[in-house]
Every structure is written in structure tokens, then in C-alpha cells.
Structure 1
Amino acid sequence: MPKTTVPNLPVSAFFGVIKPSGPTSMSIINDVKLLVARSKIFVDVDTLEKSKGKKVRKHGKNDVKIGQGGTLDPLADGVLVVGVGKATKKLNQFLECTKEYRTTVLLGCETDSYDSDGSRVRLAPWRHVTREQVETALEKFRGEIQQVPPIFSALKMDGRPLYEYARQGIPLPRPIAARATTVHSLEVIEWKDKHDFRWPAQIFSAENKQAMEKALQGAGENPVLEDAAEEPSEGEAPTAFVLQMRVSSGTYVRSIAHDLAHELGSAGHVVTLCRSRQGKFALEQTEDGDIECVPWEVFEKAGADVGDPDEDGWYAWEREVLARLEVVE
């Protein structure tokens, strides 16, 4: 059990949670809230006494404020920064900070969402791609780059989310504006000769393709969404590799995978995505000042059975959090 000096309580603070792949970020926050709202770390003792017997609501007003410093999609796992109390007003700093990611890219198939949760849009050759070609192509994606957000995103154009144009076949009134972003580092850290990743089973329908083509044609683009490759042979796995990157805020990791695949004369999408760092919160302490995150299993176990407090009056999950707090005055 981690040991730490207990600050003057209650506190407002940040701490990191290691989000698993699957649940939404908001569901993680709501579950953590059930514990935080009954902890003397964050709520004064008198308030806790008055609230005994009352149910903590996941949604709506409670005695404690809680929020997160940057959503991770259900597919993604890794660092999710949580702010409690006054810290919720300072969560914006985590939207603007440098982040690190590890992502697995699977070649040969492009999806509407640029990841494995989406539907196949088109197939393209992949067998010709080598590690050396990938490492050479990465040079174009380092430094200050211009990145076009995916059309299947919630970004709005003239008040309408981009994905509505794509789904409904509404011509875009103009091209999607490129955004400046900085890729501080970008490397291949693993070439997967053997793996179990496969292309999504769900396939973009002809109607879906026509709608997407019509939307993009409105912006002067003429996309080709026809398949240019066949399914892998029995027992064959499409090429996959893992990228590690450190990027500025606003960077679309999925777009890097998508655009890189195009640069390689292929198509590709993300099958795993892990945020390994957000500001000073990290999965592992690799730099001075790093704060490690609390594994999700700690909260999951406490949510099912909080257990008994120790001799100092702390529950096991509270000890884990106290060892990894950044107090906000």
C-alpha cells in the first residue's frame, strides 16, 4: 500500500486514472464520483455526517465537483486526468498540454472513423509495405504539420457536425480547414510480424459511400472509395506496427495513422490507442516530477466492496489516491 504525507483536509486536487478500453470517459468519472463524494479526502467531515444515508447521484448536483481533463474515446485506454473541487476550474490546462500516445496501426483497410470501431470504407494493398518505408515516411509527420480532421468527427461547419454531412450526403460548403499541430516525436517501436488484429466485419454500404462521396465533392474533392485489394488469404494477417508519439494539443492520432497509410500507398486504421502521458500525469514515472496514475481496478474493486478502513481510518482506494495527488489551492 502506498505511503504518503496526508495534506490538510479536505482538498481540491488532480489525480490520474488508468482508463481501460471499453467504457466511456464519462462513465469512469461517474463511477469515481460515487467514491469521491463519500471521502474525507475531498469532503469535510461535517458534510459527510449530514449526508449519511443519502444516495450520491452520478449525475446532477452533489457536495463535490468532479471533472476530467480530456476525453478518451471508448476504444482508447490510458491516462485520464480527474479534477475534484476547485481543480475542476483548472482542467483546461490538460487540454493544452503535451500528450504522449502509443497506437497500433493496421494496414490494408480504411474505416469511416479511422479506427476499428468503424465500418470498412475501402481496401488497399498492404503487402508491399516494409518497416524501412514506414520509418522513412514518418519524417513528413514530425515537427509542425498541417492536419485535416476526419469528416466523421464532431467538429462543426456552419453549425452542423461534419459527420452529418458525411452520413446524409450533404455537400460540404467548403474544404475542411487544416489545423496546425506539432509532433515533437514519432517513432516505430514495434513491428508486429504476428498478431490477431483483423479488419472490422462491418462494411460501409454503397449508400453510405455515395453519401460520403457527395459530401466531399461539395468541397472540391473527388474521393475514390472503391476497393483496390482483396481479403487476406486464410491465416494471413495484414501488416501492423506500433507508433509512439509526443504531440501538442489538438493532434488527431487517428489522422496520423490514416494519412501515413496513404503516404505508404495503402490504407489503414487504428486498432489500439493508449494515452501514456498527459502533462505530468503518466502511466510510468520516466521524467522528474511525473505523477503515476491509479489503476482503474482500484476504483472498480472499491465500488463493488469498499472494504474496511485501516488503522488510520483510510480505505484502500483512498491510500492509492493520496499517494498520487496534486493538491490545488
Structure 2
Amino acid sequence: MPKVSLSNLPVSALFGVTKPSGPTSMSIINDIKQLASQSRLFVEASKLEQVKGKKIPKKGKRSREILKIGQGGTLDPLADGVLVVGIGKGTKKLSEFLDCTKEYQTTCLLGCETDTYDSEGATVRLAPWRHVTRENVESTLSQFTGEIQQTPPIFSALKMDGRPLYEYARKGIPLPRPIEPRQVTVHSLELVEWLGNNHSFRWPEKTMDGDAKQALATALKSVNEGVSLDDNRELDEGEAPQAFVLKMRVSGGTYVRSIVHDLAHALGSAGHVATLSRTRQGRFALHSTAEGDYSCVPWEIFANASSDAGAVDDEGWTEWEREVMQRLELVGA
């Protein structure tokens, strides 16, 4: 732990956390905040005395006075992988991770389209999938590589006239205008594993009722008359639909869910994201492969410390503090 010495405490820093699938990014940040606000690594001794043993508020002026903390790009609850955390002056550096190059690995499950383009959503359309082969997928990937125009999903937090897009979809409000496509860069896109039918993924059990589906159709058709949410079923009880795994390196602002959704359409099918892992965000990576990379702290380290801080070493550091010190990037004034 040569990066941190007792003479330069407390520090401001950036570090990566391996987020698990399930919890929200904000819940991860709030849990880390409870630990970090009780640590001399990040908090001045005088403030530590004031907060010792107390639960820190999640928001508000008092919360910021004790510890400034943030994250450099939200991951959906479904997603796992690299979540960049900034503490102290490190929070001022987080914006650079919104536009940096990122790497993902995702599983596409064919035959079913959902409102959110992933397995957390509700089924809105079924489509044929048996005709899709590994060769079909590989020959279609070039359409989604390089500089491409991508339309964000309607179930996203992007705002139009001050209202989140998902609100239009849920309430059946016609969109004031088409969702504006954005130019993104897909530096590389490859099929790394063809699962075929040999997997345990299944279409979501959640379905949209008639009113919800009509509301979504109303919102979509207000800008695209040709859109259809009608099922084109090709079902065989007991047979799993085709699935495959993609690996990609993309620019900031790229929606992986949209790539999977649009690719499935190009294949004459429907599809959604079944799994999603962010394997790299800028210089923070799950598996360090280049000089200057920073590896991530496993989430279990923080989860265990939240229930039991454990023993301290000869210098007074707990396990989670040692793990962070081995992986952090110090941020100066």
C-alpha cells in the first residue's frame, strides 16, 4: 500500500467497484458511503469523532459536509461489472467517465421483445427465432460497427420537453416529436459465444396488459406509423430460443440494450438483453490488461464490512480499507 501514507490523510480518490446484478448503483454508493464516512482514509479526524457509530444521511448538506461521494456512470440493476466511485475531490473527475470508452459483454435472447429491451421488462412482442444462425449473426454485426446512428429506447430516463421518455410510454402520451438519434461509435463488436438452445434463460414472465400495451403503441406510433407490437409467434413448448453472447467496445452514450434490440430486428426476429456486464470503463477494468489499468474492488469486500468491519492490521486498517488502498487512484487539488 505505498500510495497512501499517514501524512497525507485523508485522501481524495477514484476507485472501481465490481457491482453485482440486482441492486441499484445508488444503493451501492450509499452502502460504501456508510463505510467511507467512518474511515480515516477519507474523513478528517475531527469529523470522525462527530459521526462515530452514527448512520450518515443519504442526501443533504450534512451528508455532503461529512463526505462527498459519487459514481461515474449508472449501471441498470440487471447489469454487473465496473462502477467507478469518486470520493472527495475525486467527484470532480467523474464526468470524464461518462464519455470515455467502455467495454461490455452481453447475452442476447431471441424471440422476445420487452418494453425495456432487457429481461427486467415486460414482454411486448414475440417473433420467430429458429431461422437465426451463428453465421447470420456474424454477418450482420458489421451493420452495427463504426460510427452509427442509434435511437435510445423509449423506456429510458432521457427527457423530452421536461418529461422522461418512459413516462410517455407508460401513460400513452404521444411523443411531441421523434426520439432524436445520436451518433455513437462502436469500436468493436464480436460474437464470442453461440449458446444456441443450450442455456437456462427464459423469456420474462411479466407481460403487458392490454391497456399498457396500447399506451406504449400510442406513444410509439405518434412518431412511427409503421411500428407494430403484434405477436408473430413461433413457439414450441419446452424448447429454449436461441441465445448468443456479444463483446463490444463502445463510446460513451451508447445503449447496449438498443444494439441488441436493433440487431434482433435486423435478423428478422426480436430479442432482449438477458445479461449485461461492464468489463471496462476508461482505465478501470474487471481484468487489467494494459499498463495504467486499475482493477476493481469486489463488492463482497464492502458487503462483508457492512455487517462486520473485522479485525484491523498493525497500522489500524480493516480489510476493506486495505483492498481500496491497493486499487485507488489518488486525486490532488
- Which bracket does the TM-score occupy, shorter chain normalised? over 0.9
| Amino acid in structure 2 at the alignment position of 1:59 | K
**Other-structure match for 2:76:** 73
**Other-structure match for 1:243:** 246
* Aligned residue runs from structure 1 range 104-143, under 5 A: 104-143=107-146
Cα drift, residue 4 of structure 1:
4.0
Query: Does structure 2 retain, via aligned residues, the 8 Å contact 1:153–1:161?
Result: yes
Query: Does structure 1 retain, via aligned residues, the 8 Å contact 2:110–2:129?
Result: yes
1: CA distance, partners of 2:115 / 2:295: 34
Query: Does structure 1 retain, via aligned residues, the 8 Å contact 2:129–2:234?
Result: no
Q: Which moved more, 1:151-160 or 1:86-95?
A: 151-160
**Other-structure match for 1:32:** 32
Name the TM-score, length of structure 1 as normaliser.
Answer: 0.96
Query: Does structure 2 retain, via aligned residues, the 8 Å contact 1:147–1:255?
Result: yes
In structure 2, the CA distance between the partners of 1:53 and 1:190, relative to structure 1 (3 Å rule), is closer
Q: Paired residue for 2:209, among 205, 208, 226?
A: 205
Q: Which moved more, 1:129-138 or 1:170-179?
A: 170-179
Query: Does structure 2 retain, via aligned residues, the 8 Å contact 1:142–1:186?
Result: yes
Q: Paired residue for 1:217, among 212, 215, 221?
A: 221
In structure 2, the CA distance between the partners of 1:59 and 1:160, relative to structure 1 (3 Å rule), is closer
In structure 2, the CA distance between the partners of 1:239 and 1:50, relative to structure 1 (3 Å rule), is same
Query: Does structure 1 retain, via aligned residues, the 8 Å contact 2:101–2:282?
Result: yes
1:191-246 alpha-carbon deviations (Å, 9 max, x no partner) = 11310000001112222222222212221432111111133322x11100010001
Query: Does structure 2 retain, via aligned residues, the 8 Å contact 1:25–1:72?
Result: yes
In structure 2, the CA distance between the partners of 1:10 and 1:201, relative to structure 1 (3 Å rule), is same
**Structure 2 residue matching 1:129: 3-state secondary structure:** coil
Query: Does structure 2 retain, via aligned residues, the 8 Å contact 1:20–1:78?
Result: yes
**Other-structure match for 1:14:** 14
1:234-277 alpha-carbon deviations (Å, 9 max, x no partner) = 2x111000100010010000000000000000000001000000
Name the TM-score, length of structure 2 as normaliser.
Answer: 0.95
Q: What 5-or-longer segments of structure 1 have no aligned partner?
A: none
Aligned pair count reads 326
Could you say what the CA RMSD is over the residues aligned between the two structures, in angstroms?
A: 1.3
**Other-structure match for 2:45:** 45
* Aligned residue runs from structure 1 range 72-111, under 5 A: 72-111=75-114
2: CA distance, partners of 1:178 / 1:57: 39
Q: What 5-or-longer segments of structure 2 have no aligned partner?
A: none
| Amino acid in structure 2 at the alignment position of 1:200 | P
Q: Paired residue for 2:190, among 184, 187, 191?
A: 187
Query: Does structure 2 retain, via aligned residues, the 8 Å contact 1:30–1:59?
Result: no
**Other-structure match for 2:234:** 230
Identity of aligned residues (%): 66
Residue 284 (1) aligns with residue 287 (2): yes
